[in-house]
Amino acid sequence: MASPSAAPALPDEMLVEIFLHLDDPVDLARASAACATFRRLISGRAFLRRIRARHAPALLGLIGHFASPCGRFLPAEPPHRSAPPPHRSARAAPTADFAFSFLPAPPTGSRWLPLDVRDGRFLVSTSSAPGGDVVVCDPLHRRAGSWRAVTIDGYRPRFTLCRCQYAHGCFYWFTSLRGKSLMLNARDMEISIVEFPQSCFGIGQHAIVEAGEGRLGLFTIGDCNLDLHSKAIGAGGIAGDNEWRHDKTIPLLPRYKWDIINAAEGFLLLKGFPLDHYPPRWIPTEIPCFTLELKTLLLKRLCMLHLGVVCDALLLYRSFPPPLSLPSI
């Protein structure tokens, strides 16, 4: 009896359409490992451009100066969608070198510390204080490069700067001045002052973000709620002279004392200290960390922070799983 004929192979165009309609990019990574044909199609630059237009990179966890099973990486935990399977410590993160061992050895007694991360590129330094060596690198593909240093002469602020944030091509530093932020326009390297709305004066918890419709957003945190103000952006990315408007009040979970840790990569990073321990009669060993997605304004628990973590040094890390992640340098 003749054996049944093999099923005809699907044309590449049909396979590409099937791959594009998969819900999770992690499924694409699994398909890529199944056979050489799938890998050839999925790793092609034309396909990667299309898949990146349909999907945002997953929020995998946090980067910080702490000890964890993954070194400087703290992965998302269940029930978060990006939490790794039980048999793996993370999705794409284990292939990344967060110890930065591919970089030149730092001076004796120091180590490379992550200062910022954007689009897979890390800014690292041998010191958290100004004056240390600074390198831009891609720990997933173990690449680094040299950039021309930029200095701004003749400007010495007479106030304290803290917590740099980025939105619409500009860098913002909160200052010790009441209701004011220092802005550096990265396009023309001009510095100016941005004033907060008067209702935000005296509030110590702020975050500057990219709001909808090309507006500059300002989050302030209150008693179990977040308030979002926004301001139109003028020519060249500079905030215009128009007034701030109050857009929305977002309720947070009750029975927590909330703090804003950071804002980057399309998320607001929050820490919730249980009010059962505030003021603390005894200090819990773990504190929940949450993210607020700026596009949907959905609040989700990301992971638990261990006691002793320096929260100001925490960075959000997003990435596509290999082979969907292209070198960023």
Q: What is the pLDDT of residues 88-130, one digit of tens each?
A: 544 445 578 888 889 988 877 778 888 888 888 898 888 655 5
Asked if residue 249 has pLDDT above 90, the reply is yes
Query: Which pLDDT score is estimated for 292?
Result: 94
Q: Where are the domains of the chain?
A: 13-55, 159-251
* pLDDT at position 70: 47
In the prediction, which pLDDT does 313 show?
74
Confidence of residue 187 (pLDDT cuts 50, 70, 90): confident
Task: Check pLDDT > 60 for residue 51.
Answer: yes
Read off the pLDDT of each residue in 5-32 and give the average, rounded to a whole number. Answer: 83
Average pLDDT over residues 39-65: 88
Q: What is the mean pLDDT of residues 131-137?
A: 78
Would you state the pLDDT for residue 270?
A: 93
In which band, very low, low, confident or very high, does the pLDDT at 4 lie, cut at 50, 70 and 90? low
pLDDT at 151 over 70: no
**Phi, psi values for residue 20, rounded to 5°:** -65, -25
Mean pLDDT lowest for which of 15-19, 21-25, 258-262, 279-283? 279-283
Average of pLDDT values for 141-168?
Answer: 71
pLDDT at 218: 93
Least confident residue range of 98-107, 232-241, 290-299, 300-309: 232-241
Residue 75 confidence (pLDDT): 87
Q: Is the pLDDT of residue 216 over 80?
A: yes
pLDDT of 239 > 60? The answer is no
On average, the pLDDT of the chain sits at 80
What is the 3-state secondary structure of the chain? CCCCCCCCCCCHHHHHHHHHCCCCHHHHHHHHCCCHHHHHHHCCHHHHHHHHHHCCCEEEEEECCCCCCECCEEECCCCCCCCCCCCCCCCCHHHCCCCCCCCCCCCCCCCCEEEEEECCEEEEECCCCCCCCEEEEECCCCEEECCCCCCCCCCCCCCCEEEEEEECCEEEEEECCCCEEEEEECCCCEEEEEECCHHHCCCCCEEEEECHHHCEEEEEECCCEEEEEEECECHHHCECCCCCEEEEEEECCCCEEEEEEEEECCEEEEEEEEHHHCCCCCCCCEEEEEEEECCCCCEEEEEEEECCCCHHHCEEEEECCCCCCCCCC
